[in-house]
Structure formats: structure tokens, C-alpha cells
Amino acid sequence: MAKNTATASRAQRSTGDATRQPTRRERRTLRQEAAVNAAFTLAEREGVAGLTMRRLGQELNVDAAVLYRLFRDKDELLLAVCERTIETIVTEVGEVPGDESWQDTLRRIAEATWQVQTRFPAITTLTFARTTGGPFEARLVELQLATLARSGLAPDQAVLYYRTFVDTSLGLCAHSAALSSLDPEVQEKDATAWTRIYAHLPADEYPATRAHIDHLGSVSRKLLYDTTMEAVISAIERAAAAA
């Protein structure tokens, strides 16, 4: 009997009957998603150090111990947050037109990754080096490998340049996110370091620094990112042409 009702309500869920109250299991995942949502808003509002289990509980009007019934520990919560981030990237990438060149598809992915990093720097800092093994991660990997394959590279080369592309993008996004996640005062100090410190170095010992001092402060992180990703795409083009 128990099995029947469970099966029934699960079948019901797939029909989308909204009047029926959700199963226990459904409630559980609903609450997990609520926790992930709250983690996003909390981390971006309070910074990297502000995302603690107690404050997350506060955000959900619930004791922190409850979170340990939804996630084994904080790390598992972060993995769920990470998977959600990847989902956001996949959504941001959207549909790839059939006639789009593989170069433009890579550009589209790089742009989506950057946009998401810009929107959630604290989350990016906390999760950029993790692997979720979740469905959205798998979809993104598939899209990237399929795109690289379109360049005509042999499988081993395609994999090499896939990882080059991904890790370069991730590394730069994480770097930018880490800078955005520092204390505002430290951030200000770093930003003005060029004019505060480097402009006053002795010109005889630091001629190159002096010669370039006017331009050092005015390179935007986005321009830098685009320049690097174009360099990687060019490298892939040349490797594909050689094959």
C-alpha cells in the first residue's frame, strides 16, 4: 500500500497537478533549492565570509542544525550552489544556432561564463575549483566538446584545447571574482597601487615601469579576459589548420 501511494503521488507530480500537496521527497528538494537560493543572495550581500550556516539558517528563519538534514555538510551545500551556477551559465548560453561557427560558440560560452562570474563573484570564489558531477555540468561539457570537435581537431587535440579553453576561462574568471570579493578597503588599496606606489619608484631603477605608468591603471578586466580568450581561440584555429 505504501508503495502504491508513493508511486501514485510521484506519477501525479509528473502530471503537474498543482492542487496535490507535494511528497516528502519533493518537499525536501524544494527546501534544498530554497537553501541554495538563499545562499546566493546571502553570499552576494554579505561577502564570502558572510555565508555561514548560522546566517543561512537565519535567512530561512530556521535553526542552522536543520540545514544538516538537507546537506551532509557545508561542502555539499557549496557543491549544490556550484551546480546551480553551472545551470545559470547553461541558461545564459541559450540555444546555439545551427549555422554558428565553432569560434562564435566558444565566444558565446566564454561570454556567458564571464557574465555569471560578474553577477556572483562571491559564489564564484567559493566554488570555482570544484567538480559537481551534476547534470548541468555534464551538459556544458558535452556542448564544449561538441563545439571543439567541429573545429576538425583529432580527439586527443580537441580534448587538450577543450581543457585549455575551460581552465583559462575559469582561472581568469576566478581571479576577477577573487578581486571583487576582497574587503572594499583592500580593493581600493589594490586599485590605487599603481599611482600610489609604482609612480614613485626611482626612474633609474624602474625605467620600464615609469615608461608605462600612465597606462597601467586603465586596463579593464573584461578587455583582458576577451584578449586572452581570443588568443586561445586563435591557437585552436592554428592547431586545426595544421591538422
Partner DNA sequence: CAGAAATGACAACACCGTTGACATCAGTGT
Partner DNA sequence: ACACTGATGTCAACGGTGTTGTCATTTCTG
Question: What is the closest distance, in whole angstroms, from the C-beta atom of residue 152 to its own copies in the complex?
Answer: 14
73-81, 119-127, 142-150, 161-169 -> range binding DNA (CB under 7 A): 73-81
Binding partner of residue 28 among its own copies, DNA, none, CB under 5 to 8 Å per kind? DNA
Whole-number Å distance between alpha carbons of 176 and 172: 6
**How large is the greatest C-alpha to C-alpha distance in the chain, in angstroms?**
87
Q: Which parts of 3-22 interact with DNA (CB under 7 A)?
A: 5-6, 21
Question: What is the closest distance, in whole angstroms, from the C-beta atom of residue 44 to DNA in the complex?
Answer: 16
**Main-chain phi, psi angles of 67, to 5 degrees:** -60, -25
Q: Is 45 left (phi over 0), alpha (psi -120 to 50) or beta?
A: alpha
State the Rg of the chain over Cα.
Answer: 23
Nearer to its own copies (CB atom), residue 60 or residue 114: 114
Question: What is the closest distance, in whole angstroms, from the C-beta atom of residue 131 to its own copies in the complex?
Answer: 4
Question: What is the closest distance, in whole angstroms, from the C-beta atom of residue 73 to DNA in the complex?
Answer: 3
62-70, 97-105, 195-203, 220-228 -> range binding DNA (CB under 7 A): 62-70
Nearer to DNA (CB atom), residue 82 or residue 240: 82
| Residue of 142, 146, 147 whose CA lies nearest to 105 | 147
The residue whose grid cell reads 496535490 is 20
